[in-house]
Structure 1
Amino acid sequence: MLPYQDPSLPVEERVEDLLGRMTLEEKAGLMFHTMLAMNPDGTPVEDPAAQPGDVTTTEMVRGRLMSHFNLLGGGGARQLAEWHNHLQAMAAETRLGIPVTISTDPRHAFTDNPGTGALAGAFSQWPETTGLAAIGDADLVRRHADVVRREYLAVGIRVALHPQIDLATEPRWPRISGTFGADADLTSELVAAYLEGLRGPEFGPESVAGMVKHFPGGGPQLDGEDPHFPYGQEQVYPGGNFDYHLKPFKAAIAAGATQMMPYYGKPVGTEHEEVGFGFNKGIITGLLREELGFDGIVCTDWQLLDEARIGPFLEPAKAWGVEHLTPIERAAKALDAGVDQFGGEKCPELVVELVRSGRIAEERIDVSVRRLLREKFRLGLFENRYVDPDRAEEIVGAAGFRELGEEAQRRSFTVLTGDRVLPLRGRPRVYAEGVDPAILAEYAEVAAGPEGADFALLRLESPYEPRTGGFFETFFHCGSLAFAEDRLAEILALLDKVPTVVSIRLERPAVIPEIAARAAAVLGEYGAGDRAFLDVVFGRATPEGRLPFELPSSMDEVRRSREDVPGDTENPLFPIGHGLRLTA
């Protein structure tokens, strides 16, 4: 047994032994963390056309010596566990047998966006993070993260590409549903609880590492556009609120965060260089490492170095501010800035070339490789690289976990108006849109149309303007927060025909003054099933949610507000913290 294989030795001793045995190519492979798909039956994808970037699993693990992968897509619990075990067996056959670390974006809620989060599927389903913030209960957040930890461990996922602790100060930003809302103090409290739940009693073999994002706070995007795309690269601070957005990250570091992800955007009008945060030495080395004392892993957001083809779409590199540099020059700048790992990339040959050419010292590479190896050892991956598929089927989506998630869905609903109408009593005759009629029949008499109905129920998605410029762009809900005129007219026509309870899923804030004025009741929701919704409407559950961000009264007021300031629109329709209480 070699020293790095001996679990009785201190982690630092094992790290140094393994580091001393690694070739430059093996070190470089460790520094890349990209997306990897799986076949539905749990086998690795070996068809290049079915893999993001056209590279087979075997080539990435054995050829490029990579050992960090972000699961794209998913499957049943057994298939996920078996896929993980296939990867670990493949990695075990490499020269040093360094185990694979699997990561994932959130997959316990209702978001279905390959760029930000996966629909729950086999896992227990909870409200979005904003729903947890609406409840505002740190103990619940800790229990939620503990469930996430248990379900992830069962299938071999050891790094959560979350929590996302950006602040929702710009209401048009399409990534608000992944945040804890606009309040820095609440977010600071909840991120500490979240990290505790992922960690468990102590950081070790039963932990999931949380990659906190997006340092130093990705919320204040110019006009609410997202820096996944060239037109959204500017991050602005017209209210001078840079430090406000930094506050939750200080709390995360104090709570023991071991990994951090900078966002794509570039700071505009600050003291910092106007380049993307992943290339920004003043942000990563100066602020995060030196001023805040963070010595964990810094992994860039995905695809900063080179363009990538996904199906018919060519996705440009998110190299904002350094578009003029070549991929190898971008890699050098990011390493100089202080990053340890490149997300969404699979080109370790760039790092090899930088060292071989003398542009980057191998000692600098060793600094990052030590951090990456230390995390694998602390997570116990060298001793316990495989998982039990039978056990995975028992744990993932277990009845108790699903019940906890559904209870949180019900609690998270926010009553915006209609506390004198809700809850509905008895078995009224109800017409519904957006609700499964078979489930509704368990609560009320189902009407075929609004005519003759006692009430109507209307479940809505928050409005947005579709984008069609690229693969990921189609999934991001950007633009106006108001319904288009024709759709608003349809909604109002129903409200005028019959007393209607409207529930709107607040993926982002919505501009709904006409709906609020004419509906019998309005609920805000953050991801919930039909039964959770109906339990609230019919008084079988008590909604506790309070708005984690404000709902503006007009788009003109949104456009006049400052991107970095919470609750900054004039005369909001509903302010941060609004939420009525229902009486039985």
Structure 2
Amino acid sequence: MSTTPAYQNPELPVAERVEDLLARMTLEEKAGQLFQDMLTMNPDGSPVEETDGALLPSSTSELIERKQLTHFNLLGQYGPREMALWHNAVQEMAEGTRLGIPVTLSTDPRHSFTDNIGASFNSGAFSAWPEPLGLAAIGDPELVHRFADTVRREYLAVGFRLALHPQIDLATEPRWSRQSGTFGSDARLTAELAAAYISGLQGDELGPESVAAMVKHFPGGGPQKDGEDPHFPHGKEQIYPGGLREHHLEPFRAAVAAGCSQMMPYYGQPVGTDWEEVGFGFNKGVITGLLRGELGFDGIVCTDWGLLNDLPIFGEPHAARAWGCEHLTVAERAAKSLAAGADQFGGEQCPEVIVDLVRSGLVPESRIDDSVRRLLREKFVLGLFDRRRVDPDLAEETVGAAEFTAAGAAAQRRSFTVLTNTESLLPLSGRPRLYVENVDVAVAAEYGEVVTEPERADLAVLRLRTPYEDRPGAFEAFFHSGSLEFPEPELKEILGLLETVPTLVCINLERAAVLPEIAARAAALVAEYGASDAALLDVAFGRAAGEGRLPFELPRSMAAVRASRPDVPNDTEDPVFAHGHGLAAQEPRGA
């Protein structure tokens, strides 16, 4: 007569279930827990079994059944029913393994407008909200909690149980490409919004209705030399010429106090500090000394993606992100990261390396057990062993539900920041003749008569993106870096329009932009951080109030940017607009 293993008994304490399962695991099964790799799915919701061998070299069944991985990050956008079906199919695969350890599914952000396969996806079927920069522009912790609770509810419906966010780096280097995912340059506000975000995802404590939060990028990835990104060799150095290393830790202290479940160290290599000059995922002084020791964090530490194997991304060969450890073998890198205090390797699938390290005596199995305990405990606390399936019908009802969509649309409108209203252009009234660029003509036609030549218009509406330099390589092209100035030919064309007709200029700020000439000549200038054309025009016509304040300053020149210190917030000389700038909402005019 068979008896139910203790780890499968939901009536027992979590600690007892963890120890029972750990005692039953082989070394190979333990090693599989230490990796969180990426998966895609077929459009119909079936698992991918045939791969191209590039970005995703292994089939789903190989990763689960042979390599014994149980943590995966889903890439790509799909329908909610299909995601739910896929989740259930993956869990069924996992349930069929020897111990039936359920899968933990994670995702990068999916609720805004940015689509960078290295960092986030646009909202697709999910409700669309402004980027975190826009939430910071509003500065309302209650709204951030509501946003994160919406994310939680939509994620739960399709099976995501781990959010690879929030990103709480400080946007202190104006050129850095990852600012749109942050709450801006203010450490105190970021700390406050981070706590609200974590509470919205996890609830008062982690449990079966929670989505675990993986906070990133410890200890703060904003101070990148020249604003370059450490995914790439020319961006690996993280520096603190202003001596504000502690300042960048303030949001992370708040995140730990708020009970965040997981933490991701960044790729960056600290230079000129008392820390070892190796990437943070290998840095014992940072992970064990600072995070676990000083900050008291006892949750899961998962490295950023791809620290071990230097796998080319989209064919780009210069993707080694083991800065300071490039000379080490894969096994040596894994051992160093484990010694530093990491529990799991993101974007990797080589458990055999861990097995060899233990069997060779280089890493004790007890060290592996420490990390596996943390990883298993989270699975039990989230209820994954006790509720393995989601309902595809409920997924369709929940994802993109009317209440969530309406809340996101309202937040988009609130986040608009009115920078200038020089000619008292706003709010607009009546049905003027509109000339539009980078605005959907069909949407604009609901607000006025759209004309095709600016000379015939009463006013123009021009949407712009923050300037950036085109970078070579299929992967680096996603990271908008370099100069913040509009190139001369483009600037000349923009200013020509502003001279021809009174123009409302709306700029999407994914980073700070250098636009003194545009600010001086636009009839009105507003900033947005992820918003629809309808949201823009509602604000322009006074049907909604933009109440945002700049989450970072807008520099006057690239010379001022280059002279600023990357770890010091709002450090450029004589900015065009200071941090926190924003005009009060204009009263609607009579019809």
Question: Following TM superposition, by how much is the alpha carbon of 1:243 offset from its aligned partner in structure 2, in angstroms?
Answer: 0.3
From 442, 447, 455, the equivalent of 1:443 is 447
Give the Cα separation in 2 of the matches to 1:17 and 1:314. 44
Residues 275-314 of structure 1, C-alpha deviations (whole Å, 9 max, x = no match): 0000000000000001111000000000000122445444
* Contact 2:107–2:162 (Cα < 8 Å) also in 1: yes
Give the Cα separation in 2 of the matches to 1:283 and 1:261. 12
User: Which position in structure 2 is the counterpart of 1:195?
Assistant: 198
**Structure 2 vs 1, CA of residues 545 and 196 (structure 1 numbering), >3 Å: closer, same or farther?**
same
User: Which position in structure 2 is the counterpart of 1:44?
Assistant: 47
Identity %: 67
Q: Counterparts in 2 of 1:134-213, with a 5 A limit?
A: 134-213=137-216
User: Which position in structure 1 is the counterpart of 2:464?
Assistant: 460
Residues 299-358 of structure 1, C-alpha deviations (whole Å, 9 max, x = no match): 000000012244544453311001000111100000000000000000011100000000
Q: What is the total number of aligned residue pairs between the two structures?
A: 583
Question: Following TM superposition, by how much is the alpha carbon of 1:193 offset from its aligned partner in structure 2, in angstroms?
Answer: 0.3
The answer to whether residue 421 in structure 2 is matched with residue 421 in structure 1 is: no
User: Which position in structure 2 is the counterpart of 1:380?
Assistant: 383
User: Which position in structure 2 is the counterpart of 1:76?
Assistant: 79
* Contact 1:36–1:52 (Cα < 8 Å) also in 2: no
User: Which position in structure 2 is the counterpart of 1:132?
Assistant: 135
Give the Cα separation in 2 of the matches to 1:567 and 1:437. 37
Question: Following TM superposition, by how much is the alpha carbon of 1:48 offset from its aligned partner in structure 2, in angstroms?
Answer: 1.9
Give the Cα separation in 2 of the matches to 1:204 and 1:148. 16
SS for the counterpart of 2:455 is coil
The answer to whether residue 342 in structure 2 is matched with residue 351 in structure 1 is: no
Give the Cα separation in 2 of the matches to 1:266 and 1:538. 48
Residues 59-107 of structure 1, C-alpha deviations (whole Å, 9 max, x = no match): 1010100000001102000011111111100000000000000000000
SS for the counterpart of 2:190 is helix
Q: Counterparts in 2 of 1:492-507, with a 5 A limit?
A: 492-507=495-510
User: Which position in structure 1 is the counterpart of 2:67?
Assistant: 64
Question: Following TM superposition, by how much is the alpha carbon of 1:530 offset from its aligned partner in structure 2, in angstroms?
Answer: 0.7
Amino acid at match of 1:457: V
Q: Counterparts in 2 of 1:265-304, with a 5 A limit?
A: 265-304=268-307
The answer to whether residue 120 in structure 2 is matched with residue 117 in structure 1 is: yes
Question: Following TM superposition, by how much is the alpha carbon of 1:203 offset from its aligned partner in structure 2, in angstroms?
Answer: 1.6
Amino acid at match of 1:364: R
Question: Following TM superposition, by how much is the alpha carbon of 1:23 offset from its aligned partner in structure 2, in angstroms?
Answer: 0.4
Question: Following TM superposition, by how much is the alpha carbon of 1:144 offset from its aligned partner in structure 2, in angstroms?
Answer: 0.1
Residues 166-208 of structure 1, C-alpha deviations (whole Å, 9 max, x = no match): 0000000000000000000000000000001001243200000
* Contact 1:37–1:52 (Cα < 8 Å) also in 2: no
User: Which position in structure 2 is the counterpart of 1:305?
Assistant: 308
Give the Cα separation in 1 of the matches to 2:56 and 2:389. 27
Give the Cα separation in 2 of the matches to 1:403 and 1:413. 16
SS for the counterpart of 2:37 is strand
User: Which position in structure 2 is the counterpart of 1:577?
Assistant: 580
* Contact 2:313–2:319 (Cα < 8 Å) also in 1: no
User: Which position in structure 1 is the counterpart of 2:256?
Assistant: 253
Amino acid at match of 2:255: A
* Contact 1:45–1:51 (Cα < 8 Å) also in 2: no
* Contact 1:53–1:310 (Cα < 8 Å) also in 2: no
Give the Cα separation in 2 of the matches to 1:552 and 1:524. 14
* Contact 1:53–1:308 (Cα < 8 Å) also in 2: no
Residues 362-391 of structure 1, C-alpha deviations (whole Å, 9 max, x = no match): 000000000000000000000011100000
Give the Cα separation in 2 of the matches to 1:385 and 1:545. 42
Q: Counterparts in 2 of 1:403-414, with a 5 A limit?
A: 403-414=406-417
From 459, 474, 479, the equivalent of 1:476 is 479
**Higher mean Cα deviation, 559-568 or 49-58?**
49-58
The answer to whether residue 519 in structure 2 is matched with residue 516 in structure 1 is: yes
Amino acid at match of 1:231: H
SS for the counterpart of 1:249 is helix
* Contact 2:303–2:345 (Cα < 8 Å) also in 1: yes
* Contact 1:340–1:369 (Cα < 8 Å) also in 2: yes
Amino acid at match of 1:156: G
The answer to whether residue 106 in structure 2 is matched with residue 103 in structure 1 is: yes
From 431, 435, 450, the equivalent of 1:431 is 435
From 303, 326, 329, the equivalent of 2:329 is 326
Amino acid at match of 1:286: G
SS for the counterpart of 1:451 is helix
**Structure 2 vs 1, CA of residues 149 and 51 (structure 1 numbering), >3 Å: closer, same or farther?**
farther
* Contact 1:263–1:276 (Cα < 8 Å) also in 2: yes
Give the Cα separation in 1 of the matches to 2:546 and 2:312. 45
Give the Cα separation in 2 of the matches to 1:387 and 1:212. 25
* Contact 1:551–1:572 (Cα < 8 Å) also in 2: yes
Q: Counterparts in 2 of 1:220-239, with a 5 A limit?
A: 220-239=223-242
SS for the counterpart of 1:69 is strand
* Contact 1:183–1:566 (Cα < 8 Å) also in 2: yes
Residues 468-497 of structure 1, C-alpha deviations (whole Å, 9 max, x = no match): 13x320100000000100010110010000
Amino acid at match of 1:427: R
**Higher mean Cα deviation, 305-314 or 163-172?**
305-314
Amino acid at match of 1:394: E
* Root-mean-square deviation over aligned CA pairs: 0.9
Point out where structure 2 has 5 or more consecutive residues left out of the alignment. none
Give the Cα separation in 2 of the matches to 1:477 and 1:391. 37
Question: Following TM superposition, by how much is the alpha carbon of 1:50 offset from its aligned partner in structure 2, in angstroms?
Answer: 6.8
Point out where structure 1 has 5 or more consecutive residues left out of the alignment. none
SS for the counterpart of 2:439 is coil
SS for the counterpart of 1:48 is coil
* Contact 1:234–1:268 (Cα < 8 Å) also in 2: yes
Residues 405-446 of structure 1, C-alpha deviations (whole Å, 9 max, x = no match): 000000000000016221111111110001111111111111
